[in-house]
Structure 1
Amino acid sequence: MEGLLKNRYSVVGLFLAVLFSVNTVFIVVYHLAGVTGSSAFSAALFFVCETTILVLTFRYVKVIPADWLFCVFLLAIAVSLARNGITAGSKETAILFVAIAAYPTCRFISAGAIGQTKRAFGLTSAFIALFGACATACALYQQWPVPAGKPDVFGNDAAGTHYLMALGFFVSFVATQKLTQRQAAIISAVLFVSCTIFAAALVRFTFLVLVASMLIAWLLSVGKSRQHIATFIGVIVVAVVCGTLVRFDKIPILISFLTETNAQRNASTSLPPPVAATPQAVLPPKVSDGSLPAISPSQAIPSSSAIPPSPATNSEPAASGLPSASVPPAASRSHDIWPPSCGLEVNIRNSFAERKALWQDSAYLIPRSGLFGFGLDAFMELSCMKGFPPHNSIFQAFIEFGWIGGTALSGMIIFILFRLFRVARINEDARFVFCMLSFATLISLAHGRLSRDWVLFGMLGLGSAMVELMGSYRKVS
């Protein structure tokens, strides 16, 4: 019986790793099939992963405050949909609920299952990350010197970001394990090679999140575990430096991206007075400098019949060296709302400048969103950064599902992290959940999108399970 339970939890860990790294599966499968996507395959894979985990772990649970906050969040979404209609289309709305379903999927995993599940989860994540590192290295070699900046891995320039996220899942696992010196040395070597490759592929924001989550693990650990984590952090930093130096020709561009500011529009591109009209009316693209057409963010994000592979598809600097492009102003607006980006010249090839403009718009829109918000993906229409989400799931929740929805989601995260903090210092399983939830939260704050946040919702569900069962964890520790 014990062997059967271990096998069952190993299957849960495997499917959990696939669910969290599902974009890496989509990238490979669609490339091999020669298609841009398949809604049927995407839906089937999500259904298989979430249903398998739910069936194998289903149990009676005691409702805790985080569960009530989740219900409030769902209620805010329902009211927002009723008030605003299907603002994002039926497909995107369905994807949102698939992502949210990760919460109940992981909520039923029991305390005894977490310790056995995380091993299969960590090893599967390691396999995905190593496969991605090899594929990225091959792409760099074949496309060198990679004029576009990021290499196309299986036809996707954001693949490196997804594979690095899988490596982050593996690191969260090993950082909460008792390791021998030999194991720590092997892991350090794997981290150095993999991180060097991903840094050479110009992945940036995910590295910052990875190091931040490792610092959290370091603070929660003691003794040799803390020493090993400090070594891992040092290895990652050195690897990032080495990988960046390999692409030395892009360093000046990256530095210019960091120091670039969004300029105010001049008089020739000033906005007309606000007019209440349909949000779809947008001025046609202009030609800047007579050579490169100004690209709107909506043109920069191609549509696909499948789930778009990433909330961060356009979240890293391309370092292409191309000139700045202006975001064309909206000729007319709904709600008579004029966010700051409508008066800015934004280089949409610079993800730092892009985020600054998006977050300025978010700060403008949140006080105006009301109790239930403007509706799913309404930010993409209200902002003059057409087609771009806020790249921050908390901001998106406040804007699109209102103050109630944003408060409920923020409250879930804060409540679970606060309740787990003490236990995480004395129990490895609780520390793993805390570090994974911290990693998922930081990713969502850097380039999150609610309809792609199955990792965040899954870890909130797992964190709620840990909070419910903290009494038994104190006895174990």
Structure 2
Amino acid sequence: MINLPQAAAWSFALAISASPIFVLVYGLLGLHGSGIFTASFLCLTVAGVAVFGSARNFRLSSLDIAFLAFIVCAAISFAFNPLVADVRELMLFAITLSAYVAGRLFTRDHISILRQACFWLSGLVVVMGVAVTLPFLVSDWIGGELGRPFIFGFDNAATAFSFSLGVFVIALLTSRSDWVASRWMLIIIALTSIATAVLAASMVRFTLLAILASVALCILLSASERKFALMMFVVLVVSIGVGWIARSANAKLYAVYIVEELAGGSVSMELNSWHSSEKPSYAAERNPQSNSASCESVNTRNSVAIRKQLYSDAFNLAPRAGLAGFGLMSFGQLGCFKGMSPHNDLLEAIVELGWLGGTAYLAMIILAPIFLLKSARSNNDMRFVCLLSVFMIMLSMIYGQISRDLSLFIALGLAASVAEKSTAASKNRELLQVGELA
């Protein structure tokens, strides 16, 4: 391994920002995707982290046991099930697993450099994302289109940009001391507010909630940064409100959809009349092979209803998944909606990789943040890793697809690396204190 922290940090930042970068690159080139470019970019960024990281003092951690168990369970699932996933998904799955190993090659000394790289790159992506989103928002407003704007033909572009916004906010919160005396702080906060309002107007919801939850966790963890984090929380909430007001027709429609689901599919006559006359510009495609009784009644334009059905399908399939599951990517053939994952990594792991695979995955996403919480209270670097891991875990519970969750796995690898070293350092300090007392 070549120990070049700057190169490793920028490789990491590129890897976790892959989704919005793909939207920008493909959109500006007028493409809808390129398997060769996607695979090359992901391989190079993961390889960059591995090659330029440091294997110094590397040792197997107790946190790695869950990851190794997850790999074994995946291998068992492949051995006992017909191959459902195509070559593309298998390659993405392999790259995603390798990202965890690459993340393990960071040390605590690298975190401050890594945080800076994430701050600058994610900030650039957010600025570019907002710049390309605004014209499409204006066009939809003039044309009366509802729902998410189709940016360069991608309906999930604004959501991808919001991932980078989350990384940017986390990096800002944990490096506030670097900016506290800077005249640029007000500009940074203003740009963050504008970006949040634009993404809220684009009907991004779950990611913005995850960002708010991450900021709230920072408020709980850090006494020294609590005032600043609280201010950021207020700025984000106000900005989200401004974005919803700016596209009030969209906000009202999605509010009706939420009420519709909470009310079990029944809404008042006034809301139902308005709901039936206005529809967003996209719809999910039902799976012809699905035998779910509730599938036909799902509003395919309501993302809350879609997720509710996906979770219902996953819960129905989980008891029959057994130890080996139904195989990677099998949910897209068994669930209500064609080609869709459960949008929840834990449920997907249980259904596709079996009960043991689901248990191993659950251990992965629980252990690393727990091991980080204590040191995150007093150390900005550890707080950054903790918040980043929690943010990625929350996203995996709403948007997750295991074979494409490289950002999550590389963040978990990073968390496992620094958590293991933090635990070892704490034990050493305790032994020294005991020795001194003796």
TM-score range, shorter chain: 0.7 to 0.9
Q: Which residue of 2 aligns with 1:75?
A: 72
Separation (CA, whole Å) in 2 of partners of 1:472 and 1:189: 41
In 2 relative to 1, CA 227–198 (structure 1 residues): closer, same or farther, beyond 3 Å? same
Q: Which residue of 2 aligns with 1:220?
A: 221
After superposition, where does 1:317-466 map in structure 2 within 5 Å? 320-321=279-280, 327=286, 330=289, 339=292, 341-342=294-295, 344-466=296-418
Output the amino acid matched with 1:439: F
CA drift of 1:138 comes to 2.6
CA drift of 1:100 comes to 1.8
Which of the residues 98, 102, 105 maps onto 1:101?
A: 98
Separation (CA, whole Å) in 2 of partners of 1:473 and 1:89: 44
Separation (CA, whole Å) in 2 of partners of 1:167 and 1:350: 24
Output the amino acid matched with 1:400: E
Separation (CA, whole Å) in 1 of partners of 2:52 and 2:283: 52
Q: Which residue of 1 aligns with 2:29?
A: 33
In 2 relative to 1, CA 467–377 (structure 1 residues): closer, same or farther, beyond 3 Å? same
Q: Which residue of 2 aligns with 1:210?
A: 211
CA drift of 1:384 comes to 2.6
Q: Which residue of 2 aligns with 1:303?
A: none
CA drift of 1:320 comes to 3.4
In 2 relative to 1, CA 324–346 (structure 1 residues): closer, same or farther, beyond 3 Å? farther
Separation (CA, whole Å) in 2 of partners of 1:153 and 1:329: 29
Output the amino acid matched with 1:412: M
Separation (CA, whole Å) in 1 of partners of 2:117 and 2:211: 21
Q: Is the 8 A contact 2:83 2:327 kept in 1?
A: yes
Q: Which residue of 2 aligns with 1:139?
A: 136
In 2 relative to 1, CA 126–322 (structure 1 residues): closer, same or farther, beyond 3 Å? closer
Separation (CA, whole Å) in 1 of partners of 2:397 and 2:16: 17
Separation (CA, whole Å) in 2 of partners of 1:162 and 1:361: 26
Q: Is the 8 A contact 1:341 1:360 kept in 2?
A: no
In 2 relative to 1, CA 355–124 (structure 1 residues): closer, same or farther, beyond 3 Å? same
Separation (CA, whole Å) in 2 of partners of 1:101 and 1:78: 15
Q: Which residue of 2 aligns with 1:199?
A: 200
In 2 relative to 1, CA 32–355 (structure 1 residues): closer, same or farther, beyond 3 Å? same
1:51 aligns with 2:51: no
Q: 3-state SS of the aligned residue for 2:310?
A: helix
Q: 3-state SS of the aligned residue for 2:151?
A: coil
1:170 aligns with 2:168: yes
Separation (CA, whole Å) in 2 of partners of 1:119 and 1:27: 23
Output the amino acid matched with 1:186: I
Q: Is the 8 A contact 1:326 1:345 kept in 2?
A: no
**Which blocks of at least 5 consecutive residues in structure 1 are unaligned?**
265-318
Output the amino acid matched with 1:85: P
Q: Which residue of 2 aligns with 1:124?
A: 121
In 2 relative to 1, CA 381–114 (structure 1 residues): closer, same or farther, beyond 3 Å? same
**1:209-236 CA distances to partner (integer Å, 9 max, x unpaired)?**
110111111111113x111111111111
CA drift of 1:321 comes to 4.4
**1:222-277 CA distances to partner (integer Å, 9 max, x unpaired)?**
13x1111111111111011101111122233112111123669xxxxxxxxxxxxx
CA drift of 1:472 comes to 7.0
Give TM-score, length-normalised by structure 2: 0.87
Which of the residues 8, 14, 19 maps onto 1:12?
A: 8
Output the amino acid matched with 1:198: L
CA drift of 1:414 comes to 1.1
Separation (CA, whole Å) in 1 of partners of 2:305 and 2:338: 15
Q: Is the 8 A contact 2:345 2:397 kept in 1?
A: yes
Give TM-score, length-normalised by structure 1: 0.81
Q: Is the 8 A contact 2:140 2:146 kept in 1?
A: no
My pick for the range that moved more, 252-261 or 444-453, is 252-261
CA drift of 1:193 comes to 0.8
Q: 3-state SS of the aligned residue for 1:447?
A: coil
In 2 relative to 1, CA 322–67 (structure 1 residues): closer, same or farther, beyond 3 Å? closer
Which of the residues 141, 157, 160 maps onto 1:159?
A: 157
Output the amino acid matched with 2:132: A
Identity %: 31
Output the amino acid matched with 1:155: G
In 2 relative to 1, CA 137–33 (structure 1 residues): closer, same or farther, beyond 3 Å? closer
Q: Which residue of 2 aligns with 1:230?
A: 230
Output the amino acid matched with 1:204: R
Q: Is the 8 A contact 1:325 1:346 kept in 2?
A: no
**1:296-324 CA distances to partner (integer Å, 9 max, x unpaired)?**
xxxxxxxxxxxxxxxxxxxxxxx834799
Q: Is the 8 A contact 2:203 2:250 kept in 1?
A: no
Q: Which residue of 2 aligns with 1:294?
A: none
**1:133-187 CA distances to partner (integer Å, 9 max, x unpaired)?**
1111132234433514222223322111111110110111111122416554333
CA drift of 1:87 comes to 1.0
CA drift of 1:340 comes to 5.8
CA drift of 1:460 comes to 0.7
**Which blocks of at least 5 consecutive residues in structure 2 are unaligned?**
267-277, 430-438
In 2 relative to 1, CA 324–113 (structure 1 residues): closer, same or farther, beyond 3 Å? closer
Output the amino acid matched with 1:244: W
Number of residue pairs aligned between Structure 1 and Structure 2: 410
Q: Is the 8 A contact 1:339 1:365 kept in 2?
A: no
Separation (CA, whole Å) in 1 of partners of 2:10 and 2:135: 26
